[in-house]
Amino acid sequence: MPGKNLPLGRATREAYGDALLELGKANKDIVAIDADLAKSTFSWTFGKQFPERFFNIGIQEANMVGMATGLASSGKIPFISSFAAFVLCKGFDQLRMGAAYPHLGIKVIGSHGGISLGEDGVSQQSVEDVALACALPGFVVCIPADEHAMKKAVHAAAAHPGPVYLRLGRPKAHVLYGPDVEFEFGRAIQLRDGQDLTIVANGLLVAQAVMAADTLAEKGIEARVLD
C-alpha cells in the first residue's frame, strides 16, 4: 500500500510516448497526429521511429480531428495529441460530430491538463477539458495517476473500439503502481482501505489523496482512497 513517502517517477506524458511507440511496433494501423507540440506530448518518439505514420500538422486542432476521422473511417487507429486546453476546446465541434456521434475509434490525448503548467498562464491551462469530454456521447474519459497506469490506459485505448480521451500531466508523477497493475476502463482501484470516509481522486491528485489519508490516519481517521 502506498504511503507518504511516495517516490517520484516519470510524467504521464512520457509514459504515453513510450506506450505509443510500443503500439506502433505491434500494430501497423496505429497512426499519430500532433498539432505542433510533439516534444511536449512525447508523440515525437513515435514520429522518429515511424515517420510515415506520423503527421505534425501545425497549430490547427480542428483540422487534426478531421484528419483523424478520415483515418478512423479507413480502419486506422489514430492518436491525436495536443495540450488539453487546445484539443478539446478548439476541436470540440469536430469531436462531437466527427467522432462521438459516428462512434469512431479516435484516441484523443490532452497533455498538460488542469493547472499543472501554472507558469504558462491561463491560455495553456485547462480546467474544462474533462467536462467537455464527458459531454461527448460514447467517449471513454480517463485520467491515469502514474506512469504505469498511463501505459496500461494507452494500450486499453487502442483496443477500445470507440472514442477515448486520455488526460496527461506535465510534471513528474508519484509512483503508485507497479508495471503489472490491473487496469480496466470504468473500474476504480482501491489504494487504501478505511471505514470512516472515502476519498475519490484521479490523475496527479491520487497521490495527494493517499498522503492526505495517511495524515488523517495519524489523527485516528481511517480514509479509503479510490483512484
Confidence tier at 5 by pLDDT (50, 70, 90): confident
Residue 2 lies in a domain: no
| For residues 205-221, average pLDDT | 96
Answer yes or no: do 140 and 215 share one domain. Answer: no
Phi, psi (rounded to 5 degrees) for 80? -110, 130
Residue 180 lies in a domain: no
Residue pair 32/21 in contact (Cβ under 8 Å)? The answer is: no
Domain that holds residue 197: 190-226
Answer yes or no: do 30 and 103 share one domain. Answer: yes
Answer yes or no: do 216 and 126 share one domain. Answer: no
What's the pLDDT score for residue 115? Answer: 83
Answer yes or no: do 89 and 17 share one domain. Answer: yes
Residue 169 lies in a domain: yes
Answer yes or no: do 169 and 194 share one domain. Answer: no
Residue 27 lies in a domain: yes
Residue pair 104/72 in contact (Cβ under 8 Å)? The answer is: yes
Give 55-87 pLDDT, tens digit per residue.
Answer: 999 999 999 999 999 999 999 999 999 999 999
Instruction: Please give the order of strands across the beta sheet that includes 223-226.
Output: 190-192, 223-226, 197-200
Answer yes or no: do 159 and 206 share one domain. Answer: no
Residue 185 lies in a domain: no
What's the pLDDT score for residue 114? Answer: 84
Provide the annotated active-site residues.
61
What's the pLDDT score for residue 118? Answer: 66
Domains in the chain, number: 2
| For residues 137-145, average pLDDT | 97
pTM of the model: 0.93
Give 20-60 pLDDT, tens digit per residue.
Answer: 999 999 999 999 999 999 999 999 999 999 999 999 999 99
Answer yes or no: do 138 and 83 share one domain. Answer: yes
CATH number of the domain where residue 151 is located: 3.40.50.970
